[in-house]
């Protein structure tokens, strides 16, 4: 099994084999918490216009997402696990659009399979991929706004790679130290309304969930995220 680590939208476009699109802060952590909060469906889309179009096609829809980290005008929720867990999403369709994560999914056009990656389900991702035994795995760290390397995404890629190679490391201290680097913004009082400290802790709960989210291409160009226990 060849494993490579790529970054940003360009990396997603280059990804082959099984592509793991990683967005720890916060898109794919948010998606995991949405399913855990009862959502029956999560649809990833690249634009706000597409989100509003999708909203008209389903009953019990919740729009979630961000631009410049903040909740999009007209949306119900931001891209925030904290907001997700405060809402009962039982039976609802969550439509998610973000700057980095969802566009990474849509850009992985050369991959045989696309799944999401985050710290909260990194172990499940590694187990699922190992069960498939692919020849090539592309771990794509989407980074901050898909333009700057992000410590949390690169660390998540390393953790998944370690799981694929069946090597054991203690990542607890490095995860904790994210608070002093890329996670620092969650502790800035100016950001508390859209990036609260609780988001940091929810996004860094390693292996909180035992399922993966696999992307399935839709007829309309968007992506259904399918929850698969593993």
Q: What is the pTM of this model?
A: 0.97
2-229 topology per CATH: putative 2-phosphosulfolactate phosphatase (3.90.1560)
pLDDT (0 to 100) of residue 230 = 74
Q: What's the pLDDT tens digit per position in 93-146?
A: 999 999 999 999 999 999 999 999 999 999 999 999 999 999 999 999 999 999
Q: How many CA atoms lie within 13 A of 140 on its CB side?
A: 35
How long a stretch of residues is the chain?
A: 230
Neighbour tally for 182: CB within 10 Å: 22
State the average pLDDT for the chain: 97
Residue 77 contacts residue 85 (beta carbons within 8 Å):
no
Residues 6+ apart with CB under 8 A from 41: 58, 92, 93, 94, 224
Rounded to an integer, the average pLDDT of 158-165 is 98
Say if residue 194's pLDDT is above 80.
yes
């Amino acid at each position: 099994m060849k494993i490579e680590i790529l970054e940003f939208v360009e990396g997603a476009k280059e990804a082959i084999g099984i592509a793991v699109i990683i967005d720890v802060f916060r898109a794919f952590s948010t998606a995991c918490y949405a399913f855990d909060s009862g959502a029956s469906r999560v649809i990833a889309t690249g634009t706000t216009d597409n989100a509003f179009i999708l909203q008209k096609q389903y009953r019990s829809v919740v729009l979630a997402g961000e631009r410049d980290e903040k909740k999009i005008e007209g949306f119900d929720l931001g891209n925030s696990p904290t907001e997700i867990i405060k809402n009962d999403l039982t039976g609802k369709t969550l439509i998610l659009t973000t700057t980095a994560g969802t566009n990474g999914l849509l850009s992985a056009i050369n991959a045989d399979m696309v799944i999401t990656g985050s710290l909260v389900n990194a172990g499940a991702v590694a187990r699922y991929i190992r069960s498939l035994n692919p020849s090539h795995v592309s771990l794509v760290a989407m980074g901050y706004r898909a333009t700057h390397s992000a410590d949390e995404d690169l660390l998540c890629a390393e953790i998944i790679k370690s799981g694929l190679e069946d090597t054991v490391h203690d990542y607890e201290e490095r995860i904790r130290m994210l608070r002093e680097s890329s996670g620092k913004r969650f502790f800035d009082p100016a950001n508390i309304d859209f990036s609260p400290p609780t988001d940091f802790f929810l996004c860094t709960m390693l292996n909180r969930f035992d399922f993966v989210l696999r992307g399935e291409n839709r007829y309309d160009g968007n992506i259904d995220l399918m929850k698969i226990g593993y």
